[in-house]
Chains A and B, each alone.
Chain A
Amino acid sequence: MSWRNNSKRELWLAWYSMIAFYNIFVIVFFVLTHAQPPPYPYWSDAQVVFWFSHNRGGLLTGFAIMFALAGLTLPANALIAYSIRRMSVSRAFAYSYLVIYSLAALPGMLLLCVVLSVGAMRPDRDPVLIHWLYDFAFLSYVGTMGIFLIGSLVWMLAILLDKNRVLPKWFGYLNLCNALTEVVVSPAWIFHRGVLDWNGLISWWLNMVVFGIYTSAFIMLLRNMIQREDFGDGPLPTHQLAGTAR
């Protein structure tokens, strides 16, 4: 396969970035930093300080990797926005999705990385402040509901209205299931223990299962979409001063 002449190279690059990102995400969050599954919201100051000192190296290294590579989320979001753009709906859907998910990285992930790094940096800080950082990090991460809720709904609506059959309708409905988990997670702002707190059996574990199914589904479906794409072998679009029809 000649790389230069592969007309789908941009799409495949974006798709592989997506795969790479989710793999790095799992390694950093689950293996290196132990930020997932999240530790308990009802811990005392002393337990929180112990958690930070215990995971210090992993937290600082893991999030450093994340800072270097978080840019990989961009092609992933761009690919999804592109899938929406291929549908028979207004461009407004694709642009909304792109804007929503570009901002998602910040409260949904990067704030946690910065704040936990600050917490891990100085183990001798006042435990009350370390605990504040801990709450800040996990609540901003778990409790960023609106972005993923509205984002999923935008994608869902686009898929259900689409007549080009870019993605199957059942995946449109699956978006609704994913959006509903974002509603289910919101009590994490209220409860300190139980099944609805930020690492609760329902609000975290069950939602993670749904999110896992959802993510694997769209990774496969986007791959199918790219495989089906037919750009032909025609010449590349030429420069146009006023922008092209793309």
Chain B
Amino acid sequence: MTDNAGEGKRDRAIPGQPDMWVLVLFEALVFTAYFAVYLYHRSADSELFLRSQAQLRPLFGTLDTLLLLTSSLFMLRCAQTARAGAHRTAMTSAYITAFLGVAFLISKITEWIMLVRGGHGFSSNDFFMYYFFLTGIHLLHLLIGFIAIGVIVYQLRGPARRSQELVETCAVYWHTVDLLWVLIFSLLYVVR
């Protein structure tokens, strides 16, 4: 497989530490297992799941997805501009990513509060158990993602400690949060 001429040899490298990819692929498998259990269980009681699913607001889910996808775009910008040496621009992108992440966080918590007010809590029924479990464990990953952004900003700030590898490692983590949400969104909000 030969490279197209425009991209240098440098680009053939694994983005970030290869070690982070172990985490990414491992967590992807763990989540796949959660999803498989959920989908299998879903068809056991599809009536209840559909009825409960109707209580969700698809707009929240869609908005969350768009927020995270856009944040991923800015995270990519951040990694690319950092590589090009434009650290100030990269930092701005990192801040925008974090801002979009916070927007997601607020949207998610608002949705939770509305559901709980409506009488749908973690232990209300099986659907909401899965709903709160999956969104909750995903939100935990997002919070860890903020630490990753913090590491990126810390790296970009000091000229002495700039490590492109670490920036890309954290970026890979952030995209994983996005990737998992895309799956969760379609499994909780869209499937019928």
Q: Do A and B bind each other?
A: yes
A159 to chain B, nearest CB (A): 10
Chain A interface residues toward B at CB < 8 A: 168-170, 172-174, 176-177, 180, 183-184, 187, 190-191, 194-196, 201-202, 206, 210
Contacts of B37 in A (CB 8 A): 195, 201-202, 206
Q: How far is the CA of A168 from the CA of B19 in the complex (A)?
A: 8
Interface residues of B in 1-44 (CB under 8 A from A): 17-20, 22-23, 26-27, 30, 33-34, 37, 41
Interchain CB contact under 8 A, B34 and A194: no
User: With contacts A176-B144, A187-B122 known, is A170 near B133, CB below 8 A?
Assistant: no
Contacts of A176 in B (CB 8 A): 23, 144
User: With contacts A195-B41, A202-B37 known, is A174 near B137, CB below 8 A?
Assistant: no
Interchain CB contact under 8 A, A191 and B123: yes
Contacts of B19 in A (CB 8 A): 168-170, 172-173
List 22 A–B pairs whose Cβ atoms lie within 8 Å, in order of A's numbering: A169-B17, A170-B19, A170-B23, A173-B22, A174-B22, A174-B26, A176-B144, A177-B27, A177-B30, A180-B27, A180-B30, A180-B137, A183-B140, A184-B137, A187-B122, A187-B129, A187-B133, A195-B129, A196-B129, A206-B33, A206-B37, A210-B30
Q: Ordered nearest first, which 8 A-B pairs have the shortest CB separation?
A: A173-B23, A170-B19, A169-B19, A170-B22, A206-B33, A201-B37, A177-B26, A195-B37
Cβ proximity bits B127-168 to A, threshold 8 Å, 1 near / 0 not: 001000100010011001000000000000000000000000
A240 to chain B, nearest CB (A): 38
Contacts of B122 in A (CB 8 A): 187, 190
Contacts of A180 in B (CB 8 A): 27, 30, 137, 140-141
B126: Cβ under 8 A from any A Cβ: yes
B91 to chain A, nearest CB (A): 22
Contacts of A183 in B (CB 8 A): 137, 140
Interchain CB contact under 8 A, A191 and B140: no
User: With contacts A170-B18, A191-B129, A195-B41 known, is A177 near B23, CB below 8 A?
Assistant: yes
Question: Which of A168, A173, A177 is most buried by chain B, counting CB atoms within 10 A of its CB?
Answer: A173
User: With contacts A183-B140, A206-B33, A210-B30 known, is A196 near B17, CB below 8 A?
Assistant: no
- 15 more contacts with CB within 8 A, not counting A170-B23, A177-B26, A195-B37, are A168-B19, A169-B19, A173-B19, A173-B20, A173-B23, A173-B26, A176-B23, A177-B23, A177-B27, A184-B137, A187-B122, A187-B133, A191-B123, A201-B37, A202-B34
A217 to chain B, nearest CB (A): 10
Q: How far is the CA of A169 from the CA of B34 in the complex (A)?
A: 26
A152 to chain B, nearest CB (A): 13
